[in-house]
Amino acid sequence: MTYLYTALVLIVVAVITAAVFFRVTPIAPEDWHVDPVTVVRPDKDNYYLLRAEDGHGPAPVFAAEPEKLSSELHKMISALPHSEVIAGSAGERHFTVVVRSQVMGFPDFVTVKAIEAEGGAALVIFSRSRYGYSDLGVNRARVEAWVNELEQRLKP
């Protein structure tokens, strides 16, 4: 029974140590703030990319000016828990956000860029995980939720 308790304590300590590690490991914004229009697709399957050429789907187009789209997205993200803009700005229409998982604090990085498009503005989005080979669909789900929320916010 002593071995069982010891093993349990070691597992709890390992989980707490990992959670602290993921939350305090420094982030170099220049490593993550890339141009999602031209970025090279990663070798891992832990990302989701919306852009015209070779993304998982085309960049969604909104009936709004690029500045308005960028501003609305920035406001939306700033209100989300566990999210922080680490580079760029709404005014630049290009920024990168770190989004952390609630329990362990795993960081995901989402870079967005609002560009002019026929009918308004397109939102190019590159969402990727810092750790792991697969993200179990988390990045895709996040991007789709953000796009759906923006569609509601920007309805004419």
What is the pTM assigned to this prediction?
Answer: 0.88
pLDDT, one tens digit for every residue, the chain (156 residues)? 788 888 888 888 887 777 677 677 888 999 999 999 999 999 999 999 999 889 999 999 999 999 999 999 999 999 999 999 999 999 999 999 999 988 878 899 999 999 999 989 999 999 999 988 889 999 999 999 999 999 999 987
* Residue ranges per structural domain of the chain: 27-153
pLDDT value for 78: 92
C-alpha to C-alpha distance for 26 and 43, rounded to whole angstroms: 23
pLDDT in tens, 50-82: 998 899 999 999 999 999 999 999 999 999 999
How far is CA 141 from its chain centroid?
10
Q: Do the beta carbons of residue 47 and residue 108 sit within 8 Å?
A: no
Q: Which fold has domain 27-153?
A: TATA-Binding Protein (3.30.310)
Strands 61-62 and 120-129: antiparallel
Residues 6+ apart with CB under 8 A from 125: 36, 48, 49, 50, 51, 59, 110, 111, 112, 143, 146, 147
